[in-house]
Amino acid sequence: MESPLTPARTLTDLSAWRAQWLAARDDPDGYWLERARALISWRTPPTRGCEGDFWSVEEAPLRWFADGRLNVSYQCLDRHLPARAAQTALIWEADEPGRHRHVTYAELHAQVCAAARGLERLGVEPGDRVIIYMGMTPEAVVAMLACARVGAVHSVVFGGFSADALRDRVLDSGAAVIITQDEGRRGGRPVPLKAAVDAALAGSPAAAAQVRAVVVSARVGDEGRAGPAWAWVEGRDVPWAALVRDDAPHEARAFEAERPLFILYTSGSTGKPKGLLHTSGGYITYAAHTHREVFGLREGDVYACVADVGWVTGHSYIVYGPLANGATTLLFESTPLYPDPGRYWRLVETHRVNILYTAPTAIRALMAEGDSWPARYDLRSLRTLGTVGEPINPEAWRWYHDVVGGGRCAVVDTWWQTETGGVCIAPIAHVTPTPPGAATRPLPGIAPVLLSPEGRLLHGPAEGHLCLEQPWPGQARTVWGDHARFVSTYFRQHPGRYFTGDGCRRDARGDHWVTGRVDDVLNVAGHRVGTAELEAALTLDRRVVEAAVVGYPHPLKGQGVCAYVVLAAGADLSAESLAGLQATVRGAIGAHAKLDRVLAVPGLPKTRSGKVMRRILRKVAEGALEDLGDLSTLADPGVVEAVVAAGRG
Ligand code: PRX
């Protein structure tokens, strides 16, 4: 018989949600200390809740559970061993259809212990940074947990990022060790991971001097060898087998709750990505709590989040939340369309998946392939369907609910961000009523408010800037190496509140409908890309004198990328030039940052003080050519005609 999840879920009906929301508002320390003690195996349980507030964050980062001590990898592994040693911790579904592997808690624990010993042999000490640049393999999870075990700070860089983007993150984090793979596999195609690491280090003497070891896990080739697309650098490169060669037990030392756990880079409104820093005790409490409550986790569930560990969703809801809860979590290396649009549904049938978590972009792409694909598979194991990363349109929501979920599954549209560490606004599966397309209500401990851009608090049904008023344990503490940027990005425009950068509508029932970014960040297929990053990349190209990038509604990707470029004398937008521009952007950022439209213009519309008027560019990209608003502050109104003409063309 199925044994109950321990400790039991708490948000089992609406009155529990309401009571907890009020309790967490009135006594946040009491609420979160109870959650932290119930869910986490501390070496020293905390007695202190939150220190600091959104006014004092400028002087010092917030702290949670500061007198508690724990080891995050112990929480995810060791403490489960008495009951779960033989239970599957990870199901690895490889890119190649039909290939998969189960890893038990005992096996995962042994591998993490061995890798932790290996990191220590490489001289990795608590507080050191380790870059993880891998595909979706069990070794990536082992690498993350091994860092956590020895108190090192991992920074997972999504495998789609280019060598240049990787090098920036290596330098910014100051990492001395990189863990990578010979090659990744995605959709039947190779992902040149080791080659990109070599290029990143070869292109920068500073990075090459900083990185003393590159650990290479063999996904396609032989351990410790060069392959067709990558070299082997003696003295620097370490085969994965050498890292994990010592499989003696490894004692998980306890660290203070505010010990940095990971840095995750994300796009902001400047050209330089920021490394959000998450710490240990608060983060793991929040990840474990939200994972079990929002999805309605049950003992014995097979839980599949088909995101990538390179994004925050993979951190909180493939690795840390599920493993902290002792769940069976699936690791999906492939894509929704490989080898055909039945891939997800076959995955559900094969592994009897109970909870599936994906992004609206994938849902829209699969919906476009028709109902016959899900109809071919047995999806009756599904109970909860989650979405994340971008607003979901009601049509896609209904398809997910009706066709995939057969009308019986809860659909949870979960709003959160890299910065928030875990889900903040979302329905509780099978508890909260769910109007299609709404993220609905805040979780206990989350206090959303809407403000006008000028900072006026909006009451009742309204639309405005989404801010959170009250600290919660899972939130990022700072931007790595730049606390001033953390403060100015999130706490300056609306002082005393955390500003999410999102717009949101609240209806008369109190449901939240997140409408998208209100800053210069795009959300393309659920991935954040900064317009400033794209512009900086474009102007690396000799053909481009100046560039401005805006988003526009895209039927599949949510937002598409539209670039306005002022070309250098003699340059044109021939097919060859366009391919060259795409290659420049791919080289600077990665393949996910593709330009959907490129328009050549003689100049950019600017104010007299030289600021690009993006509002006009956005309108033209959206096709709203008639209603461009007030043009009186433009330095050269004539430019607008040329922009409109380019938009028409
Ligand atoms: O604009 C919001 C959108 O994704 C942004 C966060 O992106 P990132 O940090 O990459 O994290 C993505 C995974 C958590 C938010 O500022 N977003 C995320 N979830 C939703 C969403 N927009 C609408 N509805 C959502 N459920």
C-alpha 513 to ligand 1 mean position (Å): 12
Q: Which of 130, 171, 133 is nearest to 149 (CA)?
A: 130
439 lines ligand 1 (CB under 6 A): yes
Helical H segments across 400-542, by residue range: 483-490, 531-538
Q: What's the angle, vertex CA 430, arms to CA 384 and CA 287, rounded to 5? A: 65
Which residue is closest in CA terms to ligand 1's atom 21?
Answer: 390
Which residue is closest in CA terms to ligand 1's atom 6?
Answer: 417
Long-range contacts of 452-461 (CB under 8 A, 24+ apart): 453/518, 455/493, 455/494, 455/495, 460/506, 460/508, 461/505, 461/506, 461/507, 461/508
C-alpha 359 to ligand 1 mean position (Å): 10
Helical H segments across 153-227, by residue range: 163-173, 193-202, 205-210
Task: Output the CA–CA distances (angstroms, integers) from residue 392 to 280, 386, 400, in the order listed.
Answer: 31, 11, 10
- β-pairing, 448-451 vs 527-530, is unpaired
C-alpha 516 to ligand 1 mean position (Å): 8
425 lines ligand 1 (CB under 6 A): no
Q: How far apart are CA 547 and CA 335, in angstroms?
A: 32
C-alpha 156 to ligand 1 mean position (Å): 18
Which residue is closest in CA terms to ligand 1's atom 11?
Answer: 417
C-alpha 584 to ligand 1 mean position (Å): 27
Q: For residue 392, give the ligand 1 atom closest to its CA.
A: 24
Are 164 and 587 spatial neighbours (Cβ–Cβ below 8 Å)?
A: yes
564 lines ligand 1 (CB under 6 A): no
* Domains in the chain: ranges and CATH: 100-256 (3.40.50.980), 521-648 (3.30.300.30)
- β-pairing, 260-266 vs 63-64, is unpaired
Ligand 1 pocket: which of 269, 283, 311, 514 to mutate (most atoms within 8 A of CB): 514
pLDDT of residue 580: 97
Are 460 and 508 spatial neighbours (Cβ–Cβ below 8 Å)?
A: yes
pLDDT of residue 291: 98
pTM across the whole model: 0.96
290 lines ligand 1 (CB under 6 A): no
Task: Output the CA–CA distances (angstroms, integers) from residue 29 to 47, 398, 472, 474, in the order listed.
Answer: 9, 39, 9, 14
Q: For residue 501, give the ligand 1 atom closest to its CA.
A: 16
Q: In one letter, which amino acid is 165?
A: A
Ligand 1 pocket: which of 417, 489, 502 to mutate (most atoms within 8 A of CB): 417
Element (H, E) at 517: strand 512-517
- β-pairing, 255-256 vs 237-239, is unpaired
Q: In one letter, which amino acid is 377?
A: Y
Element (H, E) at 575: helix 575-588
391 lines ligand 1 (CB under 6 A): yes
Q: How far apart are CA 406 and CA 402, in angstroms?
A: 5
CA dihedral for 305, 306, 309, 313, sign (positive or negative): negative
pLDDT of residue 2: 57
Which residue is closest in CA terms to ligand 1's atom 13?
Answer: 389
Low-confidence ranges of the chain (pLDDT < 70): 1-2
502 lines ligand 1 (CB under 6 A): yes
Which residue is closest in CA terms to ligand 1's atom 5?
Answer: 417
